[in-house]
Structure 1
Amino acid sequence: MKLHIKNMVCSRCKMVVKAEMERLGYTPRVVELGEVVLDNELTDTEKLNIEEALQRVGFSIIDDKKSRLIEKIKNLIIELVHRQNDEIKTNLSDYLSSLLNHDYNYLTQLFSEVEGTTIEKYYIAQKIEKVKELLVYDELTLSEIAFQLNYSSVAHLSNQFKKVTGLTPTHFKNIRDQKRKSLDEV
């Protein structure tokens, strides 16, 4: 049985969901971003108990196809931006279309309709959060960050950063007390 879980966007989320499942007496075969796989089918009562336990720790079970698809889009973007160790080698529309087996126009229309923002804006927000993280860690130059996140230039990164945050990357780096958003708040 496969359960689709909303707001499960990081390794810590996976640990919390796995711990909750085990606390309830289940041994998940797989716990991935947005998904838990169990060996057995669940009764409606068991699903309700799991739903209540997950809601107490900030998650919920997604039960319709469109919502699951939107969660997959979000998880793929998060994975692409925050967990990939080298530059992004494809454009976003090709990346999502190939992995989700849907036309990008359909994906973007559905995402915008449900989320109230575009896939591109969500992607940019994730990239800016990654830039903030890298600036705070202070291990890479702005040029290296721009290259890693597939910006065409430092100027493009700086312009996009200022448009989203109201600050230049250098100013942000200097104040460092700007709080970053958790991935599920972006």
Structure 2
Amino acid sequence: MQLYIKNMVCNRCKMVVKAELENLGFNPISVQLGEVRIEQENISEVEKKGLKLALDKFGFELLTEKKEQLVEQVKTAIIELVHYSKEALKFNLSDYLSQKLDVEYASLSATFSEQEHQTIEKYFIAQKIEKVKELLTYGEKSLSEIAYDLNYSSVAHLSTQFKKVTGETPSAFKLNKNTNRKTLNEV
């Protein structure tokens, strides 16, 4: 059985969810960001309620509605792409999401906008800006390298978008040693 879980954004989240599933007597076959496959074909309403309560303790949410599940799949795909991919982000986002989720982009976009009250593109940009903040905080890469890795056409484009989203330039953010970062599920 496939389960969709909101707010799974890192490897520690996967470990916590797996441990909770095992504590409740479920047999997880695979635990990915936002998605879990368990051995059981069906779970009772009582089991589902217990699972919801267990996950809720850690800030996770069991998603049962199809639209919520689809939105979470889009978010998970974007988070994996921006924060965990080792490749530079050089592709068309709509094609990537359509192919990865096997759903037409128009449908993904409409559902996402309806549920989240923002576009997929704005969510993608917000995730990229959080990645820029992270990289600036660590100071391991230059702004040019960050712009290249995140597929900005130029440092100027990155700086303009960063300022539009955060209200300050990347240089000001770095100089102020700003720690105004968000967790991935808050973006």
The two structures have a TM-score, normalised by structure 2, of: 0.95
Q: Residue 71 of structure 2 corresponds to which residue in structure 1?
A: 70
Show CA shifts across 1:48-100 (max 9, x none). 11111111211111112111110000000001100111211311111111112
Structure 1, 163-172 or 39-48: larger mean CA deviation? 39-48
Q: Residue 19 of structure 2 corresponds to which residue in structure 1?
A: 19
For 1:55-94, what aligned pairs fall within 5 Å after superposition? 55-94=56-95
Query: How high is the sequence identity, in percent, across the aligned residues?
Result: 58
Which structure 2 segments of 5+ residues have no match? none
Query: 4+ runs of 1 displaced by more than 6 Å?
Result: none
For 1:33-182, what aligned pairs fall within 5 Å after superposition? 33-40=33-40, 41-182=42-183
- Over aligned residue pairs, what C-alpha RMSD do you find? 1.1
Structure 1, 138-147 or 54-63: larger mean CA deviation? 54-63
Structure 1, 131-140 or 3-12: larger mean CA deviation? 3-12
Amino acid in the other structure paired with 2:92:
N
Q: Residue 29 of structure 1 corresponds to which residue in structure 2?
A: 29
Aligned counterparts of 2:107 and 2:25: Cα–Cα separation in 1: 39
Structure 1, 110-119 or 83-92: larger mean CA deviation? 83-92
Note the C-alpha offset of 1:180.
0.9
Amino acid in the other structure paired with 1:183:
L
Structure 1, 128-137 or 99-108: larger mean CA deviation? 99-108
Note the C-alpha offset of 1:179.
2.5
Other structure's SS at 1:5 match:
strand
Structure 1, 74-83 or 174-183: larger mean CA deviation? 174-183
Which structure 1 segments of 5+ residues have no match? none
Other structure's SS at 1:29 match:
strand
Amino acid in the other structure paired with 2:36:
V
Amino acid in the other structure paired with 1:64:
E
